[in-house]
């Protein structure tokens, strides 16, 4: 069955009432999460994660995927209207987007942003359709050495690309790895680190920890922050119409942003965020109107928004084909697969083609749905920004607790949720990143399994993990990546010291 036939099969899967409803609800929920400032895509996706488990595996994963790319659409609205990015990948949109709002052209900015996002995401999902299956087919022959290398790469790179000091990412990752060891050992049958609590023999629930460190911790930050949001400018349907000049000036930035975003989405790291900065830099180099950037240039929102959505879409390739998430939200999608009893990785397209192709097909449909949601309902989103913070905090808290408890009907999960929330708030307050903690809890058990399988096969010979050519290349790439990053960091520090010496305080 060729790729086109498989894609048609994917549309047959997604166009059932349950799966189609899951895609529509996920897009709506993701857009709402993206629109609400302060919540953030990871926290929002974590809060909504338990709701997907009431559905079947296919519908549940289609919904969490729809939430993921729905957030990319909604997150930029506050950047344009309030000069407040709904997420880190919307930071560059504030530069020219809010300037256009101050000029009374918020509607045109939102139209260009939405259409550019649709074009970029559609082109990216077409490329994902043709690139994803060959990557998965190539990776089917992977064994413990290759999978262990991929798991370690996923953990190490996420720690180093989050920014800040090494400890700010490494310490949370170690905590996550430690939490992943709490369970009955599948080989020996002995309980590990259960501290006399029988329920812990089943392990610490990934969802409870994820919702805690992202959702509940975010609630605590919202409570601690008493700042009030400015009143957004009203945008009517007739205000959305751009000029012909706006459209003409947007085509090239849309193209450049799409290519940039797609490439960065395939690489380890926060692809959607990094791609927007690179795309904006490209506009400063290639745009004919570069002198207007920063003053309300339409190119300043067209290119970053295209890059944002293209990167978010292409990030599904390593997730669906290799089972390796490069962003926190995609790590939550891996957690969703595990809870649904689905093993992420190269065999996904073989063992669960309905999930692999259903998710891809749902992205085509989701892009159309998101255009419909973002343009005609713009007035609804503006009014949503006026919801009192007290109501927002109450809703998030109730949804988090009820959703976590309903998953296993266990009060232990609720206790873990609260403790994880406190831990997430405290660590975040002192500059630690929570994404490595969640990823350590998710990928840690996989890395342990591949390590033990490899040691069993090789009878304890650790050189087995580098004898495979593919595994050896992966380990070399990891080392080169770490060395390159260390060199760049040293140069940056030296440049900083030189600047201080030349221009003393």
Confidence (pLDDT) at 54: 75
In the predicted model, is pLDDT for residue 145 greater than 60?
A: yes
Confidence (pLDDT) at 500: 41
Tell me phi and psi for residue 187, to 5 degrees.
Answer: -90, -55
Among 15, 23, 48, 55, smallest CA distance to 33 is for 48
Taking the C-alpha atoms of residue 132 and residue 130, their distance in angstroms, rounded to an integer, is 6
**Token pair 């996420």: residue:** 158
pLDDT band, very low/low/confident/very high, at 348 (cuts 50, 70, 90): confident
Percent of all residues in the chain with a pLDDT value above 70, rounded to a whole number:
83
Task: Indicate the range of 204-208, 398-402, 496-500 predicted with least confidence.
Answer: 496-500
Taking the C-alpha atoms of residue 152 and residue 443, their distance in angstroms, rounded to an integer, is 8
In this structure, what token pair is assigned to residue 263?
């490439």
Task: Indicate the range of 207-211, 361-365, 466-470 predicted with least confidence.
Answer: 207-211
Contact 443, 345 (CB under 8 A): no
Q: Is the pTM of this model over 0.85?
A: no
| Angular region, 391: left φ>0, alpha ψ -120 to 50, beta rest | alpha
The overall average pLDDT reported for the chain is 78
Confidence (pLDDT) at 415: 86
Among 240, 243, 231, 247, smallest CA distance to 378 is for 240
Confidence (pLDDT) at 106: 79
Distances (CA, A) of 103 to 18, 109, 279: 44, 11, 24
Number of H helices, E strands in the chain: 24, 2
Contact 331, 325 (CB under 8 A): yes
Q: What is the pLDDT averaged over residues 40-64? A: 76
In the predicted model, is pLDDT for residue 171 greater than 80?
A: yes
How deeply is 440 buried, as exposed, middle or buried, from its count of CB atoms within 10 A (0-12, 13-18, 19+)? buried
- The 10 Å Cβ neighbour count of residue 485 is 13
Confidence (pLDDT) at 130: 87
pLDDT in tens, 309-334: 888 888 888 888 877 776 777 777 87
Task: Indicate the range of 16-20, 48-52, 389-393, 494-498 predicted with least confidence.
Answer: 494-498
In the predicted model, is pLDDT for residue 368 greater than 60?
A: yes
| HSE-CB for 416 with a 13 A CA cutoff | 21
């Amino acid at each position: 069955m060729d790729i086109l036939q498989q894609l048609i099969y994917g549309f047959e899967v997604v166009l059932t009432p349950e799966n189609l409803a899951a895609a529509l609800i996920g897009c709506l929920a993701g857009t709402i999460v993206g629109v609400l400032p302060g919540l953030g895509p990871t926290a929002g996706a974590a809060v909504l994660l338990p709701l997907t488990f009431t559905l079947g595996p296919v519908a549940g994963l289609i919904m969490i995927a729809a939430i993921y790319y729905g957030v990319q659409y909604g997150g930029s609205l506050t950047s344009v209207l309030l000069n407040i990015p709904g997420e880190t990948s919307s930071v560059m949109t504030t530069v020219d987007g809010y300037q256009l709002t101050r000029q009374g052209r918020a509607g045109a900015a939102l139209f260009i942003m939405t259409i550019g996002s649709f074009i970029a995401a559609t082109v990216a999902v077409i490329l994902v359709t043709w690139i994803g299956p060959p990557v998965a087919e190539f990776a089917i022959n992977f064994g413990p050495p290759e999978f262990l290398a991929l798991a370690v790469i996923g953990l190490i790179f996420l720690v180093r690309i989050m920014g800040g000091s090494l400890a700010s990412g490494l310490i949370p990752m170690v905590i996550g790895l430690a939490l992943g060891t709490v369970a009955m050992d599948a080989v020996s049958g002995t309980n590990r680190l259960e501290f006399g609590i029988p329920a812990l023999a089943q392990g610490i629930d990934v969802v409870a920890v994820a919702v805690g460190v992202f959702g509940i911790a975010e609630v605590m930050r919202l409570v601690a922050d008493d700042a009030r949001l400015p009143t957004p400018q009203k945008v009517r349907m007739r205000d959305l119409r751009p000029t012909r000049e706006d459209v003409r000036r947007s085509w090239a930035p849309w193209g450049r942003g799409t290519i940039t975003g797609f490439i960065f989405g395939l690489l380890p790291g926060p692809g959607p965020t990094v791609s927007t900065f690179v795309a904006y830099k490209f506009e400063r180099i290639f745009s004919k109107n570069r002198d207007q950037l920063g003053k309300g240039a339409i190119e300043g929102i067209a290119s970053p928004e295209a890059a944002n959505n293209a990167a978010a879409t292409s990030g599904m390739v390593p997730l669906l084909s290799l089972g390796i998430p490069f962003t926190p939200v995609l790590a939550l999608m891996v957690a969703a697969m595990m809870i649904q009893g689905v093993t992420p990785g190269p065999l996904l397209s073989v063992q669960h083609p309905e999930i692999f192709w259903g998710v891809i097909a749902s992205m085509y449909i989701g892009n159309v749905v998101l255009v419909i949601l973002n343009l005609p309902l713009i007035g609804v989103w503006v009014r949503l920004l006026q919801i009192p913070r007290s109501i927002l905090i109450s809703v998030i808290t109730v949804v988090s607790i009820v959703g976590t408890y309903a998953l296993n009907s266990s009060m232990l999960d609720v206790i873990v949720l609260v403790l994880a929330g406190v831990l997430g708030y405290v660590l975040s307050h002192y500059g630690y990143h929570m994404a490595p903690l969640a990823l350590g809890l998710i990928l840690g058990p996989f890395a342990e399994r591949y390590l033990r399988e490899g040691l069993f096969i090789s009878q304890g010979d650790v050189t087995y993990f580098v004898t495979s050519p593919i595994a050896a290349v992966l380990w070399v790439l990891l080392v080169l990546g770490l060395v390159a990053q260390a060199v760049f960091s040293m140069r940056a520090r030296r440049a900083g010291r030189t600047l201080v010496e030349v221009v003393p305080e």
